[in-house]
Structure 1
Amino acid sequence: MGTLRSHSSIRTPRGFPASGPSNSPGPTLLAVTYASPQPGGYAHTLGALRESGHVHRSTAAELRENLLARMGAGLPRFPGVHGFDHTVLPQLERALIAGHDVVLLGERGQGKTRLIRTVAGLLDEWSPTVTDCPIGCHPYAPTCPSCARRSTTEGDDLPVRWRHRDERYGEKLATPDTGTAELVGDVDPARLAEGRSLGDPETIHYGLLPRANRGIFCVNELPDLPARVQVALFNVLEERDLQVRGYSLRLPLDLVLVASANPEDYTSRGRIVTPLKDRFGAQVRTHYPPDLDHELALLRQEAELPEGTVVPSHLLETVARFARLVRGSNRVDQRSGVSVRLTVAAAETVAASALRRAALTGEEVPVARVCDLVGVAEPLLGKVEFETGMEGRESSILETLLRRAVAETFRARLGEADLEPLGDRFAGGGTVESGDLVGAAELLRRVGTVPGLAGLIARAAPEDVDGPPTPGLAAAVVEFALEGLYLERRLSKDTAPDGGVYRF
């Protein structure tokens, strides 16, 4: 479907796939946990769990077996991820099958975090854990000292709680002020005040990594972690134990660590220390959408438009082509990359411009037109880094690329259409003024009758035709055709800040 419309229902947070069971409490952000509903009919004591025949698997084995099962059944493995099918995903699948910790390396806005979050969908939907355990110990193999003690004293009566897969995903955005205690843990002064000794392992307040035990933990922007904190991850990745305040706690953590990072030749804020890179089992290089179709698929998936606003498919394609032209420009710093967020922000700005016009002109249904592209370049300057020497020319560079995108889309959609009848409208010296303050009905009145308009609409926006075309869609296609004729130098145009006047 080529037209994006906003939805009044609650949306999945951007970056998470819209998948999962209806009783899922939703994805977990930054390792925040919550009380999930307990599935009915599941064992709630250790004894009942044994009688049910439940088999304990490590997290790596769980991911491997579930991934292979989905591959064998032909089911989606990474929903919401586009353009990686033949490049990134095979490498990631091999790493998960091998049970490796993974670092995803790529420029900004390539979908690294989204991809990492979809990996959590490969976990079992429900998994048993010891009730009230801070690190989610499995009832069969208690890891922390507290659960080991409870298992001995309570035996088969040890209470069991079932965690949803969303609770088994933790995430931390690395920042320069992140400390070892936040990730690994520290001594809890309150427990010392209760009379416990400093060497008692139960005085430890566990950090984010041990709390992700039996799950997946993501560290975003890994190079931003201070080197001393990266060193603290050595044992977690290799020996799977913790070292807190001078004494070592043997804690065989069962987790898969996945990190994201920008290439070191661009990121000047820090780097991944060499011994830590060596401890990751796999490094996977990501990339931007390889072709226009994937760019459009991501745009349709990610853009959140104002309620009731329509962006026709030819404008979506124009925005997608614009982003690809920016990525290929030699005036843009390609080391920093041009995020897919630029594409999404451009489409949302176009939709907002259409909604603004509707409010000012009284249009019932806001439909975006070419004139709404005028306000796109300036707001996007913060998303693009230019090469040295381009100071003061940034806006004009983006505007030029935007016009090229319109021309390319015009040639692709209307290049073979018969536009002579529309051009004849100007042969006698007629003019048509358009702009972001000219409503659809008024624009159509100014243009007059256009022979073959239905055919033009079918060529320019076939994804949007569902019954008789609306005045808004008709005006959008007519203005698109006029702009294309201008860019092909078959018409002239007197430009103005809010639109322009087309003439022969």
Structure 2
Amino acid sequence: MTQNLPRTAGELRAAGHLPRGVKTEIRENLLAALREGRDPWPGIVGFERTVLPQLERALLAGHDVVLLGERGQGKTRLLRTIVTLLDEWTPVIEGSELGEHPLEPITPESKRRAEQEGDDLPVKWRHRDERYAEKLATPDTSVGDLVGDVDPVKVAEGRSLGDPETIHYGLLPRSHRGIIAINELPDLAERIQVALLNVMEERDIQVRGYTLRLPLDVLLVATANPEDYTNRGRIITPLKDRFGAEVRTHYPLEITHEVALVRQEAELVAEVGDHLLEIIARFVRHLRESSSIDQRSGVSARFAVAAAETVAASALRRSALIGETPAVARPVDLLSVPDVLRGKLEFEAGEEGREDEVLIHLLRRSIADTARARFAGLDLRTLAHTVSDGHPVATGDRVHAGDLLAALPELPVLHEVAARLGAGPKDPVGRIASAVELALESLYLTRNLAKDEDDERQVYG
């Protein structure tokens, strides 16, 4: 794709190419996307009217940004999406350590090369994905990691300690003309945060005793959790002052957003209907509102994704055990979620020993809420009377979908139940059984049916 692009500084200058700052580049590309009606944030769900307008204003203003929010709210995903606002290809001096623009070198070495080689200075084209660097802030991060330090190898080659070319540049200078993201910024030691002050305001770096000024061109973005932001760790006040914008993220506000997010992110090994994803989404919402869950820790969107993948895996296991194909998840598969994913949640101290009880209760509420919404206005009494009058229905890990349906006579309400969940007469039997099982479970939860349970089967009667 870069074959016909200029290969020397002279060709680049003759082509009329003008260097521009990374923030200007992002601003102009974002404005172009907004004017053309293109989505500048592919894959970001649920932030359209809240987070994204704030972030767009910050980028248009040329501000460095810190995203503040609980775990699993998509902060890192959002930062990585900013890369799409960079030019797809940009010219750099071939062989330069910091990826400098051929017409604007900033290091002593590149300036010397530009002076010696002139218009013959070789040009290389760098893809935008190479202009994004990410660093997870850990307590052992050093100033040398972020800014730079003396390179003993270069000193051993015969250069003097006072020579700026003996510096080994850290991650920030190497992100020149790009984006640098620091995850969990408050976890950086305060003395390390001080090293960022010059980069953010004066746009230069200081390494030990060197009198070196590099006019760095970077967009610095960071993430932080509110708890870390205020208690366990903190962003020092001068550094907070240098961030132009602080944007609060949140969990999906709508059930449909949570379902869309799970559908987008989960790798499902079996078919999982939208009604089951809605149950999972409601379950996650109830967890986020429950006083039994430590809300300071939050309930990550990754919980919902993992729950959907667990339900799909349960359906695939049943398919392998009894030969049910294709593998289609049913409400009974939801029971695997609390056991498998309980460790992903933080409970309040007073809830010790009641974890399973809390999770099962909230899961049943989620099933009841979904059934009420999906079957609104539908009279299920015919189904309840049929099951009560001598047609018990069994389900479980070793119960075939065909056997579940065969236990019931032909009832018009069953066709309506299936249609409400998007299943037709010609669909796989597992899809129809999943709809019927949700209706049976809703009748049990509303005390219109009984249910006997053991390790392998549940029998509605």
Give your verdict on TM over 0.5. yes
Q: Specify which of 244, 250, 261 is matched with residue 281 of structure 1.
A: 244
Q: Distance in 2 between matches of 1:300 and 1:430?
A: 36
- Could you tell me which amino acid in structure 1 is paired with residue 259 of structure 2? L
Q: Specify which of 363, 376, 390 is matched with residue 402 of structure 1.
A: 363
Percent of aligned pairs with the same amino acid? 60
Worse-matched range after superposition: 45-54 or 384-393:
384-393
Other-structure match for 1:28: none
The structure-2 alpha-carbon separation of the partners of 1:152 and 1:265, relative to structure 1 and needing over 3 Å to count, comes to closer
- Could you tell me which amino acid in structure 1 is paired with residue 289 of structure 2? G
Q: Specify which of 125, 129, 132 is matched with residue 95 of structure 2.
A: 132
Once the two structures are superposed, what CA deviation does each residue of 1:87-143 show, in whole Å capped at 9, x if it has no partner?
111111111111110000001111111111111100111110000111110011101
- Could you tell me which amino acid in structure 2 is paired with residue 80 of structure 1? G
Indicate yes or no: 2:277 matched with 1:321.
no
Q: Spell out the pairing of 1:17-416 with structure 2 (5 A cutoff).
A: 39-264=2-227, 268-306=231-269, 309-416=270-377
Q: Distance in 2 between matches of 1:254 and 1:325?
A: 45
Q: CA deviation at 1:266?
A: 7.3
Q: Distance in 2 between matches of 1:499 and 1:249?
A: 73
Other-structure match for 1:468: 426
Q: Can you give the 5+ residue segments of structure 1 that lack an aligned partner in the other structure?
A: 1-37
Q: Distance in 2 between matches of 1:184 and 1:265?
A: 24
Please report the TM-score for the alignment, with normalisation by the length of structure 2. Answer: 0.97
Indicate yes or no: 2:393 matched with 1:432.
yes
Other-structure match for 2:379: 418
- Could you tell me which amino acid in structure 2 is paired with residue 163 of structure 1? R
Q: Distance in 2 between matches of 1:237 and 1:135?
A: 17
Q: Distance in 1 between matches of 2:415 and 2:42?
A: 37
Other-structure match for 1:480: 438
The structure-2 alpha-carbon separation of the partners of 1:272 and 1:92, relative to structure 1 and needing over 3 Å to count, comes to same
2:21/2:177 contact within 8 Å kept: yes
Q: Distance in 2 between matches of 1:406 and 1:130?
A: 60
Other-structure match for 1:32: none
2:326/2:428 contact within 8 Å kept: no
Q: CA deviation at 1:247?
A: 2.0
Secondary structure of 1:39's aligned partner: coil
Q: C-alpha root-mean-square deviation of aligned residues, in Å? A: 1.5
The structure-2 alpha-carbon separation of the partners of 1:396 and 1:427, relative to structure 1 and needing over 3 Å to count, comes to closer
1:128/1:162 contact within 8 Å kept: yes
Q: Distance in 2 between matches of 1:141 and 1:407?
A: 64
Q: Distance in 1 between matches of 2:399 and 2:337?
A: 18
1:171/1:219 contact within 8 Å kept: yes
Please report the TM-score for the alignment, with normalisation by the length of structure 1. Answer: 0.89
Q: Distance in 1 between matches of 2:294 and 2:93?
A: 51
Q: CA deviation at 1:448?
A: 4.1
Secondary structure of 1:434's aligned partner: strand
Q: Distance in 2 between matches of 1:291 and 1:469?
A: 29
Secondary structure of 2:336's aligned partner: coil
Q: Distance in 1 between matches of 2:233 and 2:267?
A: 33
Secondary structure of 1:447's aligned partner: coil
- Could you tell me which amino acid in structure 2 is paired with residue 407 of structure 1? A
Once the two structures are superposed, what CA deviation does each residue of 1:403-462 show, in whole Å capped at 9, x if it has no partner?
100000000111322323322322324322211221212222233434343321110x22
Q: CA deviation at 1:265?
A: 6.5
Other-structure match for 1:34: none
> How many residue pairs end up in the alignment?
461
The structure-2 alpha-carbon separation of the partners of 1:253 and 1:266, relative to structure 1 and needing over 3 Å to count, comes to closer
1:44/1:159 contact within 8 Å kept: yes
Q: Distance in 2 between matches of 1:276 and 1:305?
A: 43
- Could you tell me which amino acid in structure 1 is paired with residue 133 of structure 2? G
Structure number with the bigger relative contact order (C-alpha 8 A, sep ≥ 6) is 1
- Could you tell me which amino acid in structure 2 is paired with residue 302 of structure 1? E
Secondary structure of 1:89's aligned partner: helix
Q: Distance in 1 between matches of 2:195 and 2:205?
A: 9
